[in-house]
Every structure is written in structure tokens, then in C-alpha cells.
Structure 1
């Protein structure tokens, strides 16, 4: 079985695999919970799109998981009552009405519309949107939520996105406003999207611009991993699909690693199978993956082990064997260094959530 000769950087993944493990790895036993949370305020219009709302909410909840501390406290509000009816006739009990919304510079105001949401002036909602703009809060419109943003008369950017079926009324009511053909738009703290299929893209863009690429890609790994490129269905590794500049020999090496977990190949065996020298594979891995092949192999095996710990009833010993470790003791020590906790704690935490 393969062992890593290089000294491991304890507790932190160094390759792109850190995105898959951010929600589960920490250099400290518990995440930092002392940092104050920000408020994400969801205004649910009657007949709001449940799918758009769920996607936007899910991205923020997942962001809390992958970050080193919870960032957003998510609250829901109805227009006049502490309830809202979704587009699939499920009534949601909200945390309050729009009069209860608290706004600050670091908060978010999200107007959640839907296909059958009635587009008519709502003076109380307009006032809340104006207050959000005055506080320099981030404002978002889902589906036709951007109608109310435009109706509030706050200063808008160059364009705004809205569902295709609502463009006629937007042109009639706001003739000077440019309606974007893009799936979502962002301009100076204002984010708008056309519907559920674009809500995820908009939210990931917001997370990337606010908290960096690693957080955005970590969230995408959790809730967007089912979006594949149909032109490359043979590749199961999202990194290999997205990094088109990666040399074929490195892609082949990574796939060989993924196909040989229980009995890992040595680096010399890998170089023979892909037809390049050890020096070449070390150099190309550093350039394209950011780590040595031995390091990547270890990180991939640990990622597979974490998945088995959470999703199977296999014992820790059986998982250590399945992931190519010489002993369960060695596996537990290595796992602890990377994830900040022993594998038994990961299983216990996952089962308790």
C-alpha cells in the first residue's frame, strides 16, 4: 500500500479537494461561533416560487457550513401576515411581516416572487426596499421580485433581470429601464435573476464576490454537483470537466488514482501507466493541481474515507482498508490531522444532525 513520504500540512487540504471538504474540515475541534451573524431577510410574496426560495436559502445555509463560522441568520417575512402561500399551494409560516425586518449594511433583503405573484404596488414593501438601499444592504430579486425593486424607485444599475413572462408589464410600467437578456444581473449590491434555474448561479456569484472563490466552489460542490457537462459524461471528476487546460496525462493519472483506492498505485507505477517520467508528473501536478501526485492521492483517499464514514455502516477499520491505509491507527491519525477530529467524531456528528 502507498504511503506518503512528504510531510503533510496538517488540518488543511491543499488541492481543489478542499472545496469538497470545507464543510467537514477545521483546524480547531469546533468552528468559531463568536463572530456575529448577519441577517438574510426573505420577503415571500403570495404564490412565491418555492424552488427559487429554496435554492437561495440553501446556498446561504450551505455557506454557513463551509465557512469557519456561521455567516447568515435567515429569516422569512410575509407582506401583511406571518404566513405566505407558495406556488405549489404550501403555506409557509414566516418569522414576521415586513414591518419586522431589521436592516443593516451587511444584511440582505431578498424579494421572492413567482409565476402567479400579483404585480401591483406595495407601498410598505417599497419603503422597506428604500430603507435597504439607504443602509447599503444587498438587495436581491428572485423571479419577478425585481418588479418591486423597480417600483420602489431606488437607483438601479444599467439593467435588471426578470422572468420572461413579466417583461411586457416591466416595459409598460418602467419604459426607461433596460431589461437584461442575461440569466441574472449584478450591479452595485443589487442582484436579480429570472427564476429557479438561475437563482443558484446568482447566489454562487454573490458568494464568490463577497467571500471568495473557495467558498463559492465549496457551496457548488455540495448543492450544484449534479450539474454536469453532457459532452463529457465519461468523467466523474468535476475538476477534470472544468479544467480543460489540464494535460491529458494528468487527467489520466487522476482517474487511475480514483480507480485504485483500496490498493493504491505507487507514483512510479503511475508514471509508467501514463507514459511520462516521475520528474514530469511531479512538475505537471504542481502546475495544474497545485500539489504533488502523492499529496493529491492522499487527499482523494481521505475524501473518499470521509464520504464512507458519513454514508455507510462500514467500521472504521473496514474504511481504512477500503481507502488503502496500512492500519486503522495510521488512518485515524492522518484523518485527524486533516479534519481536526477523529473519524468516529465525524460519524457521530453526521448522525446527530
Structure 2
């Protein structure tokens, strides 16, 4: 593309999208323009409704248009789909068809947070590397085995871009700014955002196991990593202990001392957490969820699930999460002042 022509981003905001990854994607573009002293990037916001998009915290963002807006996409354009809560519900036929159309035009197609689920549903990640928020990783892996799924903070595979959510959008955008306009500008933008550690596509999403559990014990961390990597086919405590170079009794004492539960109980809780994610995020049957979480008997799965969460898997599936906010939720405007009509969608 011409060095003087701004690169154009189109953000597709789905209902109940998550604000943090959206803001973390758009702000680096604004700051890059400011740091460069010229317009390197332009952006606009669209959504299925065309007027206002409501995010998961209840805030409302004014849109530039809907899916029917007359927009000519080219190879230098980038579409970023912003997902959030209840992503399978908003992967509607009009949204999927619109995304496929833009992909055929050669535009770059990306997603932040759970938006990767919609790209997978549209077939736009078949045979591609991608990532999604760790909480949705197992569900997407089960539903779309043709996607080459990673647990990194972001993935850039040709003209497909995915960021896991939260602040990972910052790292993806800094990566693109560096690729298109140099490392110095990306570093300046990061400095403006007080983003002191720029992550790469090799960095993993979650905190290390010692940090997560608040315990720095190498053998305990190794055993937990082994458990987390073998949820569908659980490994016996005796085998875990033997492979870690200790007796079963020593392993029991280690878990009791640092985690106040037995290895068997910790393993069960981890498997049930995965089952709950699959129940909430996929259309897998109860028996499929049970098997994917290491339970060979649906009745045993249901009994353990109820003991942990106070509800059966069948009842849990029918509840789902209630939306936040409502009709009186605040509207986000470009000027930052309530009551103005200027949408948050113009390059500054």
C-alpha cells in the first residue's frame, strides 16, 4: 500500500462484547497516530444493529453503521471482530456471511477475546493457527478440531489475527505497528500506555502454575501441570507420584500442606471446572462433556458435579449467565462527554 495512505481498521462489535480487549485494540492505533504526527490508521465501528453496541459491562458504544453499510474492503483493510459473553448465540448467519464476504475480498480478518469462535464457525480458521481466551480454549478445541489452536496471547497467521482477550490486544497491535512502521514506534506507543513488557506470540496467556497457586515448589508445579494436561484421561495419584520421584504418601502430604486438599480432590476440581466451561460454551451433549472431562459414567459425573456446584449438569446448561447492564447503561461517546452525538470511531 502507499506509504501515505492510512491503513483502515473496521471493528465489528457483537452484542455483549468485552470492553477491555476492544479498548486495548483501538488505543494503540490512536497513540501511533499521535506519536507519528500523522494519520497512520483510521477506524470505524459497526455492528449487526447498526446503531449502538452494548458491551458486557453494560456500556453502550455508538456505531458508524451496520452490516449493510457500503464499505469497499481491500487487501490493506483489517476487520477485527470483538466478542464476549454468549458468543455462540451471536454467531448469526448474517454475521457469518458478512465475514466470509470480507475474507473473499482479501481483507485481513481478526478477532479478540471470544471472537475467534465466530471466525471458526464461519470456517475462516480452518487449517489456521489461532488462539482464544483460556477459559474458552477447550470448548473451541472440541467444537472445531480443524483449527490449529494455541494457548499464546496472540497469533498472527498470514491475514488471520487472533488475540486471547484482556490486554493481549495491546500486544497484537504493537506487533502490527512494529511490522508496518518499525519497532521504535511500537516501543513509543507501549511507553505511552505504560505497557512495560511487550509480549510476543510465544508468550502464554495464563500465569505460571507457581504464581497461580501461590506456591513455589517445582515438583508440586510439575504434578499440577501433568494433571492439567491430562484431564480427559486422568492419571492415578500413584503414577503421578512415581513419575515425580516420590511416594504416594509424600505426594499426599505435599498437596495437603500447600493446597489443603488431596491430589485426587484437586484433580477432580480441575476436571469439573473444565466440564463446566464445556457445558456453558459448547453444544456438546452431557455424555460428551463427561467423557472430555475424564468421567466414564454420566451418573458419576452428575453426582460429582452436583457436589461441587450445587446443581446438575442438565440444570446448569439451562441457566447460562445473565447479561449485565440494561436500558439505562451509560453510552460511550467519542468526545468522552455524556449527551454528545459524536461516536467513538474516528482516528485522532
| 1:56 corresponds to which of 25, 32, 38 | 25
1:38 corresponding residue in structure 2: 7
Structure 2 unaligned segments of length 5 or more: list them.
199-347
1:121-270 to 2 correspondences below 5 Å? 121-154=91-124, 156=126, 158-225=128-195
Once the two structures are superposed, the pairs formed by residues 324-343 of structure 1 within 5 Å of their partners are: none
Bigger Rg, structure 1 or 2:
1
Q: Which residue of 2 aligns with 1:297?
A: none
Q: 2-side partners of 1:151 and 1:122: how far apart?
A: 10
Q: How far apart are residue 88 of structure 1 and its match?
A: 0.9
Pairing 1:103–2:64 present:
no
Distance 2:67 2:113 in 1: 19
Q: Structure 1 residues 46, 120: closer, same or farther in 2, change over 3 A?
A: closer
Q: How far apart, CA to CA, are the structure 2 residues paired with 1:157 and 1:116?
A: 25
Contact 1:157 1:187 in 2 (8 A): no
Q: TM-score of the superposition, structure 1-length normalised?
A: 0.51
Q: Determine the structure 1 residue equivalent to 2:84.
A: 114
| Whole-angstrom CA distance in 2 between matches of 1:56 and 1:109 | 12
Aligned residue for 2:312? none
Partners of 1:176 and 1:53 lie apart in 2 by: 27
Deviations 1:93-127 (A, max 9, x none): 11111221442211110000124444453222222
CA distance in 1, matches of 2:25, 2:62: 18
CA RMSD of aligned residues (A): 2.5
The structure-2 alpha-carbon separation of the partners of 1:124 and 1:216, relative to structure 1 and needing over 3 Å to count, comes to: same
**3-state SS of paired residue (2:50):** coil
Write the mapping of 1:62-73 to structure 2, written as runs, cut at 5 A.
62-73=31-42
Quickly say closer, same or farther: Cα 1:119–1:171, change in 2 above 3 A: farther
CA contact (8 A) 1:56 1:203 kept: yes
Task: Name the CA distance, whole Å, in 2 between partners of 1:166 and 1:119.
Answer: 14
Alpha-carbon distance change, 68 to 136 in structure 1, aligned in 2, over 3 angstroms = farther
Change over 3 Å in CA distance of 1:113–1:155 after alignment to 2: closer
Cα separation, partners in 2 of 1:213 and 1:63, compared to 1, 3 Å = same
Native 8 Å contact 1:87 1:116 kept in 2: no
How many residues align structurally? 197
Match of 2:60 in 1: 91
Deviations 1:176-200 (A, max 9, x none): 2222111111100211011112111
